[in-house]
Protein backbone atom coordinates (compact mmCIF):
# COMPACT_ATOMS: atom_id res chain seq x y z
CA UNK A 1 0.00 0.00 0.00
CA UNK A 2 1.42 3.40 -0.95
CA UNK A 3 1.96 6.02 1.71
CA UNK A 4 0.71 8.64 -0.74
CA UNK A 5 -2.17 8.47 -3.20
CA UNK A 6 -2.27 10.79 -6.20
CA UNK A 7 -4.26 13.98 -5.77
CA UNK A 8 -4.29 17.21 -7.74
CA UNK A 9 -1.69 19.70 -6.63
CA UNK A 10 -2.18 23.48 -6.71
CA UNK A 11 0.95 23.45 -8.87
CA UNK A 12 -0.77 21.54 -11.68
CA UNK A 13 -3.27 24.27 -12.51
CA UNK A 14 -0.95 27.14 -11.58
CA UNK A 15 1.95 26.09 -13.78
CA UNK A 16 -0.21 25.09 -16.74
CA UNK A 17 -1.61 28.61 -16.80
CA UNK A 18 1.80 30.13 -16.10
CA UNK A 19 3.34 28.21 -19.01
CA UNK A 20 1.01 29.89 -21.46
CA UNK A 21 1.71 33.26 -19.86
CA UNK A 22 5.45 32.84 -20.28
CA UNK A 23 5.11 32.34 -24.02
CA UNK A 24 2.95 35.45 -24.35
CA UNK A 25 5.29 37.52 -22.18
CA UNK A 26 8.38 36.57 -24.16
CA UNK A 27 7.45 38.78 -27.10
CA UNK A 28 6.65 41.79 -24.93
CA UNK A 29 9.50 41.63 -22.41
CA UNK A 30 12.28 44.21 -22.60
CA UNK A 31 15.81 44.19 -21.31
CA UNK A 32 16.15 45.97 -17.97
CA UNK A 33 19.28 47.15 -16.17
CA UNK A 34 19.49 45.03 -13.01
CA UNK A 35 22.29 46.77 -11.13
CA UNK A 36 24.36 49.90 -11.41
CA UNK A 37 27.53 49.79 -13.44
CA UNK A 38 29.52 50.56 -10.31
CA UNK A 39 28.17 47.61 -8.32
CA UNK A 40 31.01 45.97 -6.39
CA UNK A 41 31.50 42.24 -6.94
CA UNK A 42 31.67 39.79 -4.06
CA UNK A 43 35.21 38.80 -3.00
CA UNK A 44 36.72 35.73 -4.63
CA UNK A 45 36.49 32.83 -2.17
CA UNK A 46 37.79 29.86 -4.12
CA UNK A 47 41.09 28.49 -5.37
CA UNK A 48 42.56 28.80 -8.82
CA UNK A 49 42.56 32.56 -9.37
CA UNK A 50 42.84 34.22 -12.76
CA UNK A 51 43.28 31.88 -15.68
CA UNK A 52 41.97 28.80 -13.86
CA UNK A 53 39.82 26.32 -15.82
CA UNK A 54 36.31 27.34 -14.82
CA UNK A 55 33.28 25.90 -16.58
CA UNK A 56 29.50 25.78 -16.60
CA UNK A 57 27.74 22.57 -17.61
CA UNK A 58 24.18 22.46 -18.97
CA UNK A 59 22.15 19.29 -19.43
CA UNK A 60 20.34 19.28 -22.77
CA UNK A 61 17.92 16.50 -21.76
CA UNK A 62 17.30 15.64 -25.43
CA UNK A 63 14.82 12.78 -25.83
CA UNK A 64 16.79 11.05 -28.60
CA UNK A 65 20.09 11.28 -26.75
CA UNK A 66 20.94 13.33 -23.67
CA UNK A 67 23.98 15.60 -23.89
CA UNK A 68 26.02 17.88 -21.67
CA UNK A 69 26.77 21.31 -23.15
CA UNK A 70 30.07 22.70 -21.84
CA UNK A 71 30.88 26.40 -21.53
CA UNK A 72 34.20 27.97 -20.63
CA UNK A 73 33.71 30.58 -17.90
CA UNK A 74 35.93 33.63 -18.08
CA UNK A 75 37.19 35.53 -15.05
CA UNK A 76 34.49 38.11 -15.82
CA UNK A 77 31.78 35.42 -15.78
CA UNK A 78 31.21 35.38 -19.54
CA UNK A 79 30.47 32.03 -21.16
CA UNK A 80 31.98 30.63 -24.34
CA UNK A 81 30.77 27.37 -25.89
CA UNK A 82 33.41 24.66 -25.45
CA UNK A 83 31.82 21.45 -26.71
CA UNK A 84 29.07 18.92 -26.19
CA UNK A 85 29.23 15.38 -24.84
CA UNK A 86 26.73 12.54 -25.16
CA UNK A 87 25.75 10.92 -21.84
CA UNK A 88 24.94 7.55 -23.38
CA UNK A 89 21.33 7.81 -22.20
CA UNK A 90 18.09 9.55 -23.12
CA UNK A 91 16.45 12.64 -21.71
CA UNK A 92 12.90 12.62 -20.38
CA UNK A 93 9.76 14.72 -20.26
CA UNK A 94 7.20 14.47 -17.47
CA UNK A 95 3.48 14.47 -18.27
CA UNK A 96 2.02 17.98 -18.77
CA UNK A 97 5.25 19.72 -17.75
CA UNK A 98 4.76 23.41 -18.74
CA UNK A 99 8.41 24.55 -18.84
CA UNK A 100 10.59 22.08 -16.92
CA UNK A 101 10.77 18.59 -18.36
CA UNK A 102 12.23 16.96 -15.23
CA UNK A 103 10.34 19.12 -12.68
CA UNK A 104 13.22 18.80 -10.23
CA UNK A 105 16.34 20.44 -8.83
CA UNK A 106 19.73 18.73 -8.81
CA UNK A 107 19.53 16.69 -12.04
CA UNK A 108 23.13 17.64 -12.90
CA UNK A 109 25.71 17.74 -10.08
CA UNK A 110 29.44 18.44 -9.97
CA UNK A 111 31.28 16.71 -7.12
CA UNK A 112 34.41 18.68 -6.26
CA UNK A 113 35.83 15.88 -4.08
CA UNK A 114 36.04 13.35 -6.91
CA UNK A 115 36.14 15.79 -9.82
CA UNK A 116 33.20 14.02 -11.43
CA UNK A 117 30.04 15.34 -13.09
CA UNK A 118 26.88 13.29 -12.47
CA UNK A 119 23.86 13.46 -14.78
CA UNK A 120 20.47 11.73 -14.86
CA UNK A 121 19.11 10.11 -18.01
CA UNK A 122 15.41 10.20 -17.16
CA UNK A 123 14.25 8.57 -20.39
CA UNK A 124 16.45 5.49 -20.01
CA UNK A 125 16.54 5.03 -16.23
CA UNK A 126 20.29 5.52 -15.96
CA UNK A 127 22.88 7.86 -14.47
CA UNK A 128 26.07 9.00 -16.19
CA UNK A 129 29.31 10.10 -14.56
CA UNK A 130 32.16 11.93 -16.28
CA UNK A 131 35.59 12.95 -15.11
CA UNK A 132 35.99 16.72 -15.50
CA UNK A 133 39.33 17.79 -16.98
CA UNK A 134 39.17 21.55 -17.49
CA UNK A 135 36.55 22.02 -20.18
CA UNK A 136 36.66 18.37 -21.28
CA UNK A 137 34.53 15.49 -20.03
CA UNK A 138 36.22 12.08 -20.10
CA UNK A 139 35.89 8.58 -18.66
CA UNK A 140 32.14 8.28 -19.23
CA UNK A 141 30.34 5.63 -17.19
CA UNK A 142 26.63 4.76 -17.31
CA UNK A 143 24.84 2.82 -14.55
CA UNK A 144 21.24 1.81 -13.85
CA UNK A 145 19.50 4.32 -11.57
CA UNK A 146 17.63 1.61 -9.65
CA UNK A 147 14.18 2.90 -10.68
CA UNK A 148 12.11 4.78 -13.23
CA UNK A 149 12.66 8.38 -14.35
CA UNK A 150 15.70 9.47 -12.30
CA UNK A 151 15.50 13.23 -11.83
CA UNK A 152 17.74 14.39 -8.95
CA UNK A 153 21.09 13.54 -7.37
CA UNK A 154 22.54 14.33 -3.93
CA UNK A 155 26.21 13.95 -2.94
CA UNK A 156 27.89 13.81 0.46
CA UNK A 157 31.47 12.61 0.83
CA UNK A 158 31.85 9.43 -1.23
CA UNK A 159 28.07 8.85 -1.32
CA UNK A 160 25.67 9.74 -4.13
CA UNK A 161 21.92 9.16 -3.91
CA UNK A 162 19.68 9.23 -6.96
CA UNK A 163 15.97 10.05 -6.70
CA UNK A 164 13.71 8.11 -9.08
CA UNK A 165 10.39 9.88 -9.72
CA UNK A 166 8.42 7.18 -11.55
CA UNK A 167 6.06 4.53 -10.14
CA UNK A 168 6.28 4.45 -6.30
CA UNK A 169 9.45 6.54 -6.41
CA UNK A 170 12.71 5.59 -4.74
CA UNK A 171 16.17 6.66 -3.67
CA UNK A 172 19.16 4.53 -4.61
CA UNK A 173 22.64 4.88 -3.14
CA UNK A 174 26.02 4.69 -4.88
CA UNK A 175 29.67 4.96 -3.89
CA UNK A 176 31.68 7.47 -5.91
CA UNK A 177 34.91 5.72 -6.87
CA UNK A 178 37.82 6.40 -9.19
CA UNK A 179 36.01 4.26 -11.77
CA UNK A 180 32.67 6.06 -11.36
CA UNK A 181 29.49 5.10 -9.52
CA UNK A 182 29.14 1.74 -7.79
CA UNK A 183 25.68 0.70 -6.47
CA UNK A 184 25.49 0.51 -2.68
CA UNK A 185 23.92 -2.80 -1.73
CA UNK A 186 20.82 -2.56 0.45
CA UNK A 187 20.47 1.21 0.01
CA UNK A 188 17.31 1.47 -2.11
CA UNK A 189 14.25 2.92 -0.32
CA UNK A 190 10.70 3.50 -1.52
CA UNK A 191 9.10 6.95 -1.46
CA UNK A 192 5.59 5.48 -1.29
CA UNK A 193 4.23 7.45 -4.26
CA UNK A 194 1.58 6.44 -6.79
CA UNK A 195 2.92 7.59 -10.16
CA UNK A 196 3.17 6.16 -13.64
CA UNK A 197 6.59 5.20 -15.02
CA UNK A 198 6.69 8.71 -16.48
CA UNK A 199 5.11 10.81 -13.74
CA UNK A 200 2.80 13.79 -13.89
CA UNK A 201 5.00 16.84 -13.24
CA UNK A 202 2.95 17.98 -10.24
CA UNK A 203 2.99 14.59 -8.50
CA UNK A 204 6.68 13.80 -8.90
CA UNK A 205 9.17 14.39 -6.06
CA UNK A 206 11.10 17.66 -6.37
CA UNK A 207 14.59 16.99 -5.01
CA UNK A 208 16.79 14.70 -2.97
CA UNK A 209 19.35 16.42 -0.73
CA UNK A 210 21.75 15.62 2.10
CA UNK A 211 21.82 17.75 5.21
CA UNK A 212 25.18 19.56 5.56
CA UNK A 213 26.40 17.03 8.16
CA UNK A 214 25.36 14.06 6.01
CA UNK A 215 23.25 12.59 8.80
CA UNK A 216 19.95 12.76 6.90
CA UNK A 217 18.67 12.41 3.36
CA UNK A 218 15.72 14.65 2.48
CA UNK A 219 13.13 14.28 -0.32
CA UNK A 220 10.37 16.77 -1.16
CA UNK A 221 7.10 15.33 -2.49
CA UNK A 222 4.95 17.90 -4.27
CA UNK A 223 1.42 16.49 -4.48
CA UNK A 224 1.69 14.78 -1.08
CA UNK A 225 2.74 18.14 0.37
CA UNK A 226 5.30 16.43 2.54
CA UNK A 227 9.02 16.28 3.22
CA UNK A 228 10.43 12.79 3.76
CA UNK A 229 13.56 12.52 5.91
CA UNK A 230 15.69 9.37 6.05
CA UNK A 231 18.14 9.35 8.99
CA UNK A 232 21.40 7.87 7.67
CA UNK A 233 23.29 4.91 9.11
CA UNK A 234 27.07 4.74 9.45
CA UNK A 235 27.32 2.26 6.58
CA UNK A 236 25.85 4.88 4.20
CA UNK A 237 22.38 3.37 3.98
CA UNK A 238 19.16 5.18 4.95
CA UNK A 239 16.74 4.17 7.69
CA UNK A 240 14.28 1.50 6.49
CA UNK A 241 11.45 4.03 6.22
CA UNK A 242 11.42 7.83 6.12
CA UNK A 243 9.95 10.16 8.67
CA UNK A 244 7.13 11.88 6.75
CA UNK A 245 6.73 15.55 7.73
CA UNK A 246 3.90 17.78 6.59
CA UNK A 247 5.21 20.77 4.64
CA UNK A 248 4.66 24.20 6.20
CA UNK A 249 3.87 25.63 2.74
CA UNK A 250 2.06 24.22 -0.27
CA UNK A 251 3.90 22.16 -2.92
CA UNK A 252 7.46 21.81 -1.55
CA UNK A 253 9.96 21.67 -4.40
CA UNK A 254 13.62 22.66 -3.98
CA UNK A 255 15.92 22.51 -0.95
CA UNK A 256 19.02 24.40 0.15
CA UNK A 257 20.70 25.13 3.50
CA UNK A 258 21.83 28.39 5.09
CA UNK A 259 25.22 28.93 6.75
CA UNK A 260 23.91 27.68 10.11
CA UNK A 261 22.63 24.43 8.59
CA UNK A 262 18.94 25.30 8.66
CA UNK A 263 16.95 23.85 5.76
CA UNK A 264 15.19 26.22 3.36
CA UNK A 265 12.43 24.78 1.18
CA UNK A 266 10.91 26.54 -1.85
CA UNK A 267 7.14 26.08 -2.14
CA UNK A 268 5.67 26.52 -5.61
CA UNK A 269 1.97 27.09 -4.92
CA UNK A 270 2.32 30.53 -3.31
CA UNK A 271 6.01 31.24 -4.05
CA UNK A 272 7.11 30.92 -0.44
CA UNK A 273 10.18 29.68 1.46
CA UNK A 274 9.92 27.89 4.81
CA UNK A 275 12.82 27.41 7.21
CA UNK A 276 13.33 24.24 9.25
CA UNK A 277 15.67 22.61 11.71
CA UNK A 278 16.23 18.95 10.82
CA UNK A 279 16.24 16.95 14.05
CA UNK A 280 18.34 13.82 14.51
CA UNK A 281 15.24 11.60 14.54
CA UNK A 282 14.10 12.91 11.15
CA UNK A 283 11.39 15.22 12.45
CA UNK A 284 11.35 18.79 11.22
CA UNK A 285 10.93 21.85 13.43
CA UNK A 286 9.55 24.91 11.65
CA UNK A 287 11.71 27.87 12.71
CA UNK A 288 10.17 30.34 10.25
CA UNK A 289 6.77 30.13 8.61
CA UNK A 290 6.46 30.48 4.80
CA UNK A 291 7.94 33.76 3.52
CA UNK A 292 6.23 35.00 0.32
CA UNK A 293 8.27 36.73 -2.40
CA UNK A 294 5.36 38.26 -4.36
CA UNK A 295 6.39 36.43 -7.53
CA UNK A 296 4.86 33.59 -9.55
CA UNK A 297 5.68 29.90 -9.00
CA UNK A 298 8.94 29.70 -7.05
CA UNK A 299 10.50 26.28 -7.65
CA UNK A 300 14.32 26.50 -7.53
CA UNK A 301 16.55 27.61 -4.67
CA UNK A 302 20.36 27.93 -4.37
CA UNK A 303 22.63 29.53 -1.76
CA UNK A 304 25.57 31.81 -2.58
CA UNK A 305 27.40 32.66 0.62
CA UNK A 306 25.18 34.94 2.70
CA UNK A 307 22.50 35.06 0.01
CA UNK A 308 19.93 32.66 -1.42
CA UNK A 309 18.39 32.94 -4.88
CA UNK A 310 15.10 31.53 -6.07
CA UNK A 311 13.87 30.93 -9.63
CA UNK A 312 10.25 31.96 -10.32
CA UNK A 313 9.23 30.17 -13.50
CA UNK A 314 5.74 31.71 -13.72
CA UNK A 315 7.00 35.23 -14.43
CA UNK A 316 10.65 34.52 -15.25
CA UNK A 317 12.27 36.38 -12.37
CA UNK A 318 14.93 35.61 -9.77
CA UNK A 319 14.36 36.53 -6.12
CA UNK A 320 17.13 37.30 -3.66
CA UNK A 321 17.06 36.42 0.06
CA UNK A 322 19.39 37.07 2.99
CA UNK A 323 19.46 36.40 6.72
CA UNK A 324 18.85 39.50 8.84
CA UNK A 325 20.42 40.42 12.20
CA UNK A 326 17.81 38.38 14.07
CA UNK A 327 18.58 35.27 12.06
CA UNK A 328 15.40 35.45 9.98
CA UNK A 329 15.18 35.01 6.22
CA UNK A 330 14.17 38.24 4.44
CA UNK A 331 14.05 39.53 0.86
CA UNK A 332 17.05 41.48 -0.39
CA UNK A 333 14.67 44.18 -1.64
CA UNK A 334 11.03 45.19 -1.24
CA UNK A 335 9.76 43.90 -4.60
CA UNK A 336 11.30 40.43 -4.40
CA UNK A 337 13.10 40.71 -7.75
CA UNK A 338 16.90 40.54 -7.84
CA UNK A 339 16.88 40.59 -11.65
CA UNK A 340 13.93 41.52 -13.90
CA UNK A 341 13.07 39.37 -16.95
CA UNK A 342 14.19 40.10 -20.50
CA UNK A 343 13.14 38.86 -23.94
CA UNK A 344 15.93 36.25 -23.87
CA UNK A 345 15.22 35.13 -20.31
CA UNK A 346 11.83 33.42 -20.43
CA UNK A 347 10.93 30.31 -18.45
CA UNK A 348 13.41 30.57 -15.56
CA UNK A 349 14.10 27.12 -14.11
CA UNK A 350 17.27 25.71 -12.56
CA UNK A 351 20.11 27.72 -10.98
CA UNK A 352 23.82 27.17 -10.29
CA UNK A 353 26.29 29.10 -8.14
CA UNK A 354 30.04 28.98 -8.75
CA UNK A 355 32.27 27.57 -6.02
CA UNK A 356 33.82 31.00 -5.46
CA UNK A 357 30.29 32.43 -4.96
CA UNK A 358 30.94 35.27 -7.41
CA UNK A 359 28.47 34.27 -10.11
CA UNK A 360 24.96 32.90 -10.47
CA UNK A 361 23.84 31.12 -13.66
CA UNK A 362 20.17 30.76 -14.54
CA UNK A 363 18.54 28.43 -17.08
CA UNK A 364 15.75 29.91 -19.21
CA UNK A 365 13.83 26.93 -20.58
CA UNK A 366 11.49 28.69 -23.00
CA UNK A 367 14.23 30.90 -24.47
CA UNK A 368 16.87 28.17 -24.63
CA UNK A 369 19.41 30.43 -22.93
CA UNK A 370 21.52 30.65 -19.79
CA UNK A 371 22.08 34.01 -18.11
CA UNK A 372 25.13 34.71 -15.96
CA UNK A 373 25.08 37.30 -13.17
CA UNK A 374 27.78 38.82 -11.00
CA UNK A 375 26.71 38.75 -7.35
CA UNK A 376 27.11 42.09 -5.59
CA UNK A 377 28.03 42.54 -1.95
CA UNK A 378 24.43 43.54 -1.24
CA UNK A 379 23.08 40.48 -3.09
CA UNK A 380 22.06 42.38 -6.23
CA UNK A 381 22.68 40.75 -9.58
CA UNK A 382 24.38 42.29 -12.63
CA UNK A 383 23.99 40.39 -15.90
CA UNK A 384 27.37 39.67 -17.51
CA UNK A 385 26.55 37.06 -20.16
CA UNK A 386 23.83 35.19 -22.03
CA UNK A 387 24.58 31.83 -23.65
CA UNK A 388 22.25 30.95 -26.52
CA UNK A 389 21.50 27.98 -28.75
CA UNK A 390 20.53 25.52 -26.00
CA UNK A 391 17.56 23.11 -26.31
CA UNK A 392 14.48 25.27 -25.70
CA UNK A 393 11.38 23.76 -24.13
CA UNK A 394 9.01 22.25 -26.72
CA UNK A 395 8.42 18.49 -26.70
CA UNK A 396 11.06 18.50 -24.00
CA UNK A 397 13.80 20.91 -23.01
CA UNK A 398 17.07 21.39 -21.18
CA UNK A 399 17.17 21.01 -17.43
CA UNK A 400 20.10 20.72 -15.05
CA UNK A 401 23.02 23.10 -14.60
CA UNK A 402 26.29 22.96 -12.64
CA UNK A 403 29.16 25.42 -12.29
CA UNK A 404 32.84 24.92 -11.45
How many CA atoms does the CB half-sphere of 195 hold within 13 Å? Answer: 29
pLDDT at 14: 53
Tens digits of residue pLDDT in 355-375: 999 999 999 999 999 999 999
Do residues 365 and 393 make contact, with C-beta atoms less than 8 angstroms apart? yes
For 247, the enclosing helix (H) or strand (E) is: none
Tens digits of residue pLDDT in 229-252: 999 999 999 999 999 999 999 999
Confidence of residue 340 (pLDDT cuts 50, 70, 90): confident
What gap in Å lies between CA 143 and CA 269, rounded to an integer?
A: 35
User: Which phi-psi region, left, alpha or beta, contains residue 285 (left: φ > 0; alpha: ψ -120 to 50)?
Assistant: beta
User: Which of these ranges, 20-24, 38-42, 46-50, 380-384, has the smallest mean pLDDT?
Assistant: 38-42
pLDDT at 298: 97
pLDDT at 19: 45
Identify the three-state secondary structure at position 389. coil
Mean of all residue pLDDT scores within the chain: 89
pLDDT at 328: 95
Degrees (nearest 5) of the Cα angle 256, 281, 308? 10
Q: Walk me through the domains of the chain, giving residue ranges and CATH numbers.
A: 10-403 (2.130.10.10)
Collect all residues with Cβ–Cβ distance below 8 Å to 155 and sequence separation of at least 6.
109, 111, 113, 118, 161, 176, 210
What gap in Å lies between CA 92 and CA 120, rounded to an integer?
A: 9
pLDDT at 1: 41
Collect all residues with Cβ–Cβ distance below 8 Å to 332 and sequence separation of at least 6.
307, 320, 321, 322, 338, 378, 379, 380
Tens digits of residue pLDDT in 66-94: 999 999 999 999 999 999 999 999 999 99
Identify which has the larger pLDDT, 342 or 39.
Answer: 342
Tens digits of residue pLDDT in 119-157: 999 999 999 999 999 999 999 999 999 999 999 999 999
For 197, the enclosing helix (H) or strand (E) is: none
Of 147, 249, 126, 250, nearest in space to 197 by CA:
147
Mean pLDDT of 202-224: 96
Amino acid sequence: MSRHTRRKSPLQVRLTVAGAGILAAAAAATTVTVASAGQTARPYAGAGGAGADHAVFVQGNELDGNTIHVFKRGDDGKLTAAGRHATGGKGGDQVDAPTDSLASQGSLVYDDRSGRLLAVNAGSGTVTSFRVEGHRLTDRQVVDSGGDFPSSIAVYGSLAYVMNAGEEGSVQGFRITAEGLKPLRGSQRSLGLDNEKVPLFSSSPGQVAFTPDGRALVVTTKSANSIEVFPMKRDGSPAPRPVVNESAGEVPFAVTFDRSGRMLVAEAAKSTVSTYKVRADGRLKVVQQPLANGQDTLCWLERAGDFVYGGNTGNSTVTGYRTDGRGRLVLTNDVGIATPPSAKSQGVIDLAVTADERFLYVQNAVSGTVDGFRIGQDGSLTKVTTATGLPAFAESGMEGIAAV
